[in-house]
Homo-oligomer: A and B are copies of this chain.
Amino acid sequence: MSKNLVRPQSISGFAEYLPAEQRAAQQLQDKIRRHFELYGFTPIETPAVERLEVLLAKGGDTDKEMFLLQRLDPDAEAEAKLGLHYDLTVPFARYVAQHFGQLTFPFKRYQMQPCWRGERPQEGRFRQFLQCDIDVVALDKLALSFDGEIPLVAWEVLKNLEIGDFDFRISNRKITQGYLQGLGLPENVPLAVVTRWLDKLEKIGPDKVKEELVKLGLEQPDKALALAQIQTRDLSFAEKVTALGIEHPGLSQGLQELTEVMERLFSEHQQGFLVDLSVTRGLDYYTGSVYEIRWNEHPGLGSIGAGGRYDDLAGNYTNHHLPGVGLSLGFTRIFSKLKAQLPPPTPTRVLVTWLEPEATKSRQIAAQLRARGINTESYHEAAKLNKQLQYASRKQIPYVLFEADMEIKDLRSGLQQPVDLQNWQPL
C-alpha cells in the first residue's frame, strides 16, 4: 500500500526528548520547583500569548524575534493581535498590574514555562526554551534583603542540579553609572552605550573595549576600564573602587548596597559568588543589583541565568510603583549540556507477569502494590515468560514479580525470592 506520508522530523531550535531524557528533565524541574517553594515563592502561570501591545510596551531588542499568532481560517473574525511571550518578566509585570488588588506584597512568585523567540538556531539558542524565574515585587519600597535572597536561591538550585563549576557574577548598576557620571562623559555619549561596552569585557577583552571607548571620545578610557576590571571574591571591591578616586552619590549608594548584599552571600557560601563590576546586563532595564551566571565548562553557551533589580517592574501597565528583583534560569540551555545520569525510560518499578490463564491474579497484585504507592504494571497479555522478561529488561524495569509462584526477581542482581505484598519495598 502506498501512502502519502508526511515525514516526521524535528524543527531546528525546538528541543524534544526521548523518554529517559524527559524523565531526567522532569526530575530536575521538580527539584527546582521544590527549592523555590522552600523559600516561599508561589507558582503562577500566564497564558503562552499576550496582546502584542503588552509585549511591545517594554521596547528593546526583542521585537524582531517575536512570534505572532495568525488564524489558519481566513474568515476568522478580527481579534486583538496576539504574540507568544519571549520571556516571563513581561507577562509577570502585566500579571502583577492586572491582579494588583488581589495580591499580597511583597509578592514572591516563581514561574516555569516555555518562552519563544524566532532566533537563528546556534549553540545554546533555542526557539522554544523553558525559563525558571523567581521574582519579588513590592509596593513602593522593596527591601534590599531580597537582592541577596534571589541569588542565594538560584545558587542553591544550581548546586542541587549538580552542574559543576559556575561563576555567579554580581554587580550593581548604580556603581557603574555613578562612577561614569563622576568620571564625566562626552555630552553626546549616552551612559548606556558605555556600560554596554564595559559589559563586553569578558567576551572581547580589555584592548578591544578600550578601543571602543576611545572611539566614543572618552577622555579617560583606562579609568573606565579599571572599574570594570575589578573582580573580587570578598568585600575588598569597595576599597578598590574607592582607590580609583572617583566620587559620586550614586556610586556611594551602589557600593553600600552591593556590600550589604555580598556580606550575606559570602557569609552563606563563601566561594560561591564573584563580584564582577563589568556586569551590567546590556540593554535590560535594571537599576541596581545585577546577576549573571556563567558555566565555566561551557563558556560558549553564554549566561545560563541572569537577573537584577528594576525600579519599576510594571510601569508600562500601571501607575502603582512596583520595584522588583528577580532572576531567570535558562533550563533548556542548561539541560542541553548537562551530563546527568539518565533514569530508566519508564517510571515502572515492578512488572507483574501474566503467566496464569486469567489476568485476575496479576492485576490484583499490581493493584495492591499501587495502593502502597509503588509504580507497577501488570503484563498486558498471557505471553511466554521470555517475552515478558524482555519487555522488563528493555524498559529497565528493575523488578519482575512472578504471580504464579509469588516470587520477585531483582533484574539487576538476579536475586529471586518470595515476596510479601504488604511489606516488600523496592530498594
**Which residues of A are interface residues toward B (Cβ below 8 A)?**
3, 5-11, 14-19, 22-23, 25-26, 37-51, 53-54, 57, 63-73, 75-77, 80, 82-84, 94-95, 97-99, 102-104, 106, 108-109, 114, 116, 118, 120, 128, 143, 145-146, 149, 264, 268, 315-319, 345-348, 359, 363, 367, 370, 373-377, 380-381, 391, 394-395, 397
B16 and A95 contacting across the interface, CB-CB below 8 Å:
yes
**Contact partner of A317 among B7, B97, B108, CB < 8 A?**
B7
Cα A7 to Cα B10 with chains together (Å) = 38
Cα A317 to Cα B5 with chains together (Å) = 5
26 A/B residue pairs, CB under 8 Å, sorted by A:
A6-B54, A6-B317, A8-B94, A8-B95, A8-B317, A11-B47, A11-B50, A11-B80, A18-B102, A19-B103, A23-B42, A38-B374, A39-B370, A41-B347, A42-B346, A48-B48, A48-B128, A63-B73, A64-B71, A66-B71, A67-B72, A68-B72, A73-B118, A77-B120, A145-B381, A268-B367
Cα A68 to Cα B67 with chains together (Å) = 9
B40 and A376 contacting across the interface, CB-CB below 8 Å:
yes
Q: Shortest beta-carbon distance, A366 to chain B, in Å? A: 9
Cα A284 to Cα B95 with chains together (Å) = 38
Q: Shortest beta-carbon distance, A41 to chain B, in Å? A: 8
Q: Shortest beta-carbon distance, A235 to chain B, in Å? A: 16
Residue in chain B with minimal CB distance to A38: B370
Copies of the protein in its oligomer: 2
**Residues in chain B near residue A14, CB distance under 8 A:** 47, 49
B98 and A9 contacting across the interface, CB-CB below 8 Å:
yes
Known contacts A47-B15, A48-B116, A114-B48; A380/B98 CB under 8 A: no
A380 and B146 contacting across the interface, CB-CB below 8 Å:
yes
Known contacts A8-B98, A65-B73, A71-B67; A16/B46 CB under 8 A: yes
